[in-house]
């Protein structure tokens, strides 16, 4: 490289290190795109003096202060994650040809019954085609081979031979059609793989070309295949390395997004936890401030679910709650009830959290009369009782509904 240009590049890099905001100058948009395509992270644009600023930039900024986009601040790493990965161009070697998109060549009817006479005539046509090819009369060779294929459409070698002529005529799509037909007749046709690989190389389909040529080489090696492979394989390797690089970058970017979302969810969970701690502290303070009735307090078990086994016991707990102005949740359940088993640990956790609320539990099979008295039609059912009177209820295994109504009634004086 020109040493003078290298010196100028070094000076530019030094300037960027001292003032990274240079990179955000509009004239360097192409350079930013290139850096980002390589996975580089650019620093956020800063409101600093830019030595590359144009003469009229200050005037334009003053004239249109509202034209600046007011976007929420993003951390540099977050902005880099949001940027789309732009793949860089690859420098591949080899000459390509314009695809032949004309009408397809005539193909034989595979359902045709081929007689011995037709096979003999087809062989004569093939011989004429080979003579024409040796004389450089490729179009004439195609005509003879087409006639031979129509006479004997079950011959893979005829299709493969015509494919070889289409390759010489730089008609890769026609060659691919003939190669496909040859391989459909004979899946082990080395010439079918060979000429399809050569045709795909002409179209720049380097990886597919390399695959076909490798198969052809295993079936029937020749120097022409080896010569083409030497040109095709380097491009196929470059494409594979390019694809792996950007697949790795996309996986890294996706992992970063997942981690960022995990951190966001963790932060939200911590916020909810802290809020719950504050609410619990407020409830405990209210509990500490309530009048102390030793007999009533003895009848209740703060922070626990109290199982009721008799009507008298239920009445005692209710009376104690009234004396202490406590909210009561009366939970009717049954041992055979699946939804009740689901709600049991939830109900216990709520009792531990809301220590100034009385959590009672009644089995309807044990205290059927009490269940009838409370008009329990299904389980689980949760009655909210204040001052001995029902104020609300939740029917069914509705966790969110139960939590919502506890929060609503616990907040009331």
Q: Please, how many CA atoms are within 13 Å of residue 18, restricted to the half-sphere of its CB?
A: 10
**For residues 92 and 94, what is the distance between their CA atoms, to the nearest angstrom?**
7
Percent of the chain at pLDDT > 70 equals 82
Q: How many residues does the chain have?
A: 413
Find, among 142, 124, 146, the residue nearest to 132 by Cα.
142
Active site amino acids: 337, 340
Place of tokens 């046709």: 189
- Joined together, the tokens standing for residue 237 give 């390797």
| Averaged pLDDT for residues 340-359 | 93
**pLDDT surpasses 50 at 67:** no
User: What are the pLDDT digits (tens) for 50-66?
Assistant: 444 444 444 444 444 44
The answer to whether the CB of 160 falls within 8 A of the CB of 195 is yes
The phi, psi pair for 329, rounded to 5°, reads -115, 120
User: What are the pLDDT digits (tens) for 170-191?
Assistant: 999 999 999 999 999 999 999 9
| Averaged pLDDT for residues 204-218 | 92
| Averaged pLDDT for residues 105-123 | 91
Query: What integer pLDDT is reported at residue 54 of this predicted model?
Result: 44
- Note if the pTM is more than 0.75: no
Higher pLDDT, 76 or 36: 36
| Averaged pLDDT for residues 397-413 | 89
**For residues 277 and 281, what is the distance between their CA atoms, to the nearest angstrom?**
6
Query: What integer pLDDT is reported at residue 81 of this predicted model?
Result: 52
307 three-state secondary structure: strand
Q: What is the mean pLDDT of the chain?
A: 83
Q: Is 262 exposed, middle or buried (0-12, 13-18, 19+ CB in 10 A)?
A: exposed
Q: Which of 23-27, 43-47, 182-186 has the lowest mean pLDDT?
A: 43-47
| Averaged pLDDT for residues 228-232 | 89
Percent of the chain at pLDDT > 90 equals 48
Q: Is 291 exposed, middle or buried (0-12, 13-18, 19+ CB in 10 A)?
A: exposed
């Amino acid at each position: 490289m020109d040493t003078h240009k290298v010196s100028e590049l070094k000076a530019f890099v030094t300037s960027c290190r001292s003032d990274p905001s240079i990179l955000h100058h509009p004239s360097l948009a192409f350079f930013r795109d290139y850096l980002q395509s390589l996975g580089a992270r650019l620093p956020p644009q800063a409101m600093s003096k830019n030595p590359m600023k144009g003469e009229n930039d200050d005037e334009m900024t003053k004239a249109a202060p509202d034209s600046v986009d007011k976007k929420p601040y993003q951390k540099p790493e977050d902005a880099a994650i949001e940027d789309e990965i732009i793949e860089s161009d690859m420098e591949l070697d080899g000459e390509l040809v314009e695809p032949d998109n004309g009408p397809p060549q005539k193909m034989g009817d595979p359902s045709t019954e081929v007689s011995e006479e037709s096979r003999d005539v087809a062989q004569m046509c093939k011989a004429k085609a080979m003579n024409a090819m040796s004389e450089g009369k490729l179009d004439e060779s195609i005509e003879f081979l087409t006639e031979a294929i129509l006479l004997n459409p079950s011959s893979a070698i005829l299709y493969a031979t015509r494919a070889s002529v289409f390759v010489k005529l730089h008609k890769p799509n026609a060659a691919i059609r003939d190669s496909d037909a040859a391989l459909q007749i004979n899946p082990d046709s080395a010439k079918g793989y060979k000429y399809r690989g050569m045709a795909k190389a002409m179209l720049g389909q380097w990886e597919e070309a390399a695959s076909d040529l490798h198969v052809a080489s295993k079936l029937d090696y020749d120097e022409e295949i080896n010569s083409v492979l030497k040109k095709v394989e380097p491009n196929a390797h470059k494409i594979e390395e390019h694809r792996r690089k950007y697949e790795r970058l996309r996986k890294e970017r996706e992992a970063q997004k997942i981690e960022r979302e995990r951190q966001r969810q963790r932060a939200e969970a911590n916020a909810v936890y802290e809020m719950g701690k504050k609410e619990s502290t407020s409830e405990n303070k209210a509990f500490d401030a309530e009048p102390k009735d030793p007999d009533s307090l003895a009848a209740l078990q703060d922070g626990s679910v109290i199982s009721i086994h008799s009507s008298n016991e239920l009445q005692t707990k209710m009376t104690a709650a009234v004396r202490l102005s406590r909210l009561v949740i009366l939970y009717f359940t049954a041992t055979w009830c699946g939804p009740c088993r689901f709600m049991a640990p939830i109900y216990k956790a709520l009792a531990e959290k809301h220590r100034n609320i009385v959590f009672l539990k009644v089995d309807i099979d044990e205290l059927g009369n009490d269940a009838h008295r409370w008009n329990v039609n299904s389980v689980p059912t949760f009655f909210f009782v204040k001052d001995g009177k029902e104020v609300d209820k939740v029917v069914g295994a509705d966790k969110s509904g139960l939590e919502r109504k506890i929060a609503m009634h616990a907040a009331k004086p």
